[in-house]
Amino acid sequence: MIFLPHNRNSLGEAAALARGRIAPNVYDTIAFAMLVALLVLLAHGAAGMRAPSELLTTSPVTLDLANLPEYALRTTLRMFAAIVVSLIFTFTVATLAAKSRRAEMVIIPALDILQSVPVLGFLTFTVTFFMGLFPGSQLGAECAAIFAIFTSQAWNMAFSFYQSLRTVPGDLDEVSRGFGLSAWQRFWRLEAPFAAPGLIWNTMMSMSGGWFFVVASEAITVGNTTVQLPGIGSWLAIAIDKQDFKAVAWAVLAMAILILLYDQLLFRPVVAWADKFRFEQTAGQEKPRSWVYDILRRARLLQTVGLPLAWLWQRAMLLRLSKRALPATSAASRQLSRAIDIAWLGLVFVVALWGAYETVVYLRQTLGWGDVVEAFEGGLLTLLRVVVLIAVASVIWVPIGVWIGLRPAVAERVQPLAQFLAAFPANVLFPFAVIAIVATGASPSIWLSPLMVLGTQWYILFNVIAGASAFPSDLKEAASVFRLKSWTWWRSVILPGIFPYYVTGALTASGGSWNASIVAELASWGNTKLEAFGLGSYIAKATEAGDFPRVILGIAVMSLFVTLFNRTLWRPLYVFAERRMRLD
């Protein structure tokens, strides 16, 4: 009993220590203020999205500088809504494609086609649909704009996640199976963490790349339907139409501020948090830093509130949502599985053939062979531009991306700059391009082409940075020990290591360039319009005129070109990269 007072003191000290651990501190105050500000902005923006549609006419978008913060908020909310939907799409569709051979037969060709369909192609058919769902409300036009931005973000993220799931190192997969992890546990303990670096960088790229199509998404003109939603995209469209350089400059400044804010408040904390998913930690390696992440880690009350969620997540990780292991399949079962695969592939082929037949029947009612020839000629010219531009972008950005990715401190500093450059819309450069081309008498078919790759070349850079950042340190040390340098180091060490990431970046960059052709091949500055003959300008003119048969023809031809190009080049490279990773 003589130790009782000491025990009482110990218990009191422990209780005081426990209270100190959960008592709010200054970091809780900062986190709470940030959370309240976020909720207020969300509530304000959501209220504007649900406003009556007649306000778009009675209170149209103007170039009044006082309205720019409101427009910036509305645009940001649309882009984040689209990125959330893109993440849901990625985790479901890309995972299904990676796990199911039969689903892959449908999903991957569908993604090839969908990434080639231009934003205007989606808007042509979705504006009326969404506005019909919410009559008398701006929410219909908002959904159409969000869906259009989603189509500029989702395919890149899905391809990245699919590529990562298919290239999980075989030894790690064997270890996870050796520990008896179920498919559910293996996904969250191995596959998702392995895919995290590439997915995070591609999410940042998709967020930035969405800015490229903001003008087309917010300033919608389809035939007789014209909708201008409050946002930076509509501001830019009006400024370009009025030849107002000052308003264009204000829009660019607003974009730069927004990119800096969501880089600091969202993406940099995510990068710092995801560093724990690295499969190796090298002594002395500099870790990503984020002041927001540090605040959240040190906020006591916030961590206490999050304990129930953490407990639920840990319980969810104990679930074993998988089928029981089946015995080795017999020859008869393998033949049955092969027959099912053939039947499934035949069904997919029949459905695709039926869709092509219905499209041809519809187009024959109003169009002739001359229109088809014109669309194919435009497609060949656009294909030539895409191939040349992707090759040039690869030569430039692969070495730079490797240099940045192998240096975490440099990557941390370059990240916001790269996001801004990726977000910089080509529309802002239209005035300078149009003025320069008119003044020099240069050919628009040649000098408008670089505008196609301005917003898509960053897919290559971001994916190469992600690949170089994830490159194993033991391989770098082995290359250093063997003194591999110059071209030998590139050919035998780093290029094989980043190859899967590069293929993902180049594939999505080529698809994005096709998509960007509708903006880049038809540039305007006030009443001055320049056209580069190609499939993008063909679709843009048909959309503006409300010529639905030619829009469908242009989209069909573009989908055909992109699908054939992907199947003959990028898909074999994907298979090669997957086999290489499995062998390694």
pTM score: 0.75
Q: How far apart are CA 90 and CA 159, in angstroms?
A: 8
Whether the predicted pLDDT of 331 surpasses 70: no
Q: SS3 of 210, please?
A: helix
Amino acid identity of 174? E
Whether the predicted pLDDT of 325 surpasses 50: no
Is residue 120 within 8 A of residue 518, CB to CB? The reply is yes
Q: Residue with structure tokens 């091949």?
A: 521
Q: How far apart are CA 206 and CA 459, in angstroms?
A: 8
User: In the predicted model, what is the mean pLDDT of residues 378-401?
Assistant: 90
Determine whether 57 is exposed, middle or buried from the number of CB atoms within 10 Å of its CB (0-12, 13-18, 19+): exposed
% residues pLDDT > 90 (the chain): 7
The answer to which of 153-157, 337-341, 362-366 has the lowest mean pLDDT is 337-341
Write down the pLDDT at residue 77.
92
Residue-wise pLDDT tens digits, 92-148? 999 998 888 888 878 887 887 777 676 666 666 677 788 778 888 888 888 888 888
Residue-wise pLDDT tens digits, 257-311? 888 888 888 888 888 888 777 655 554 456 777 888 888 888 887 778 777 887 8
Write down the pLDDT at residue 19.
53
C-alpha closest to that of 236 among 253, 259, 222: 253
pLDDT, averaged across the chain? 79
Q: How far apart are CA 450 and CA 521, in angstroms?
A: 10
Q: At what angle do helices 192-209 and 154-166 cross, to 10 degrees?
A: 160
Q: Which residues contact residue 167 at a Cβ distance below 8 angstroms, ignoring those fewer than 6 apart?
A: 500, 577, 578, 581, 582
Write down the pLDDT at residue 332.
67
C-alpha closest to that of 550 among 404, 419, 375, 398: 375
DSSP bridge partners of 530 = 523
Residue-wise pLDDT tens digits, 49-95? 888 878 887 888 888 899 999 999 999 999 999 999 999 999 999 99
Write down the pLDDT at residue 419.
65
Amino acid identity of 556? A
Q: Which residues contact residue 51 at a Cβ distance below 8 angstroms, ignoring those fewer than 6 apart?
A: 137, 138
Task: Please provide residue 182's backbone torsions phi and psi, each rounded to the nearest 5 degrees.
Answer: -75, 170
Q: How far apart are CA 252 and CA 146, in angstroms?
A: 21
Write down the pLDDT at residue 83.
92
Out of 29-38, 212-221, 224-233, give the one with best mean pLDDT: 29-38
User: In the predicted model, what is the mean pLDDT of residues 468-483?
Assistant: 78
Amino acid identity of 316? A
Given the DSSP bridges, would you call strands 225-228 and 528-531 parallel, antiparallel or unpaired?
Answer: unpaired
User: In the predicted model, what is the mean pLDDT of residues 146-167?
Assistant: 85
Write down the pLDDT at residue 121.
62
Q: How far apart are CA 200 and CA 203, in angstroms?
A: 5
Write down the pLDDT at residue 357.
79
List, in sequence order, every beta strand (DSSP E) within 150-297.
Answer: 219-222, 225-228
Residue-wise pLDDT tens digits, 506-565? 887 887 788 778 777 877 766 777 888 888 888 888 877 777 888 888 888 888 888 788
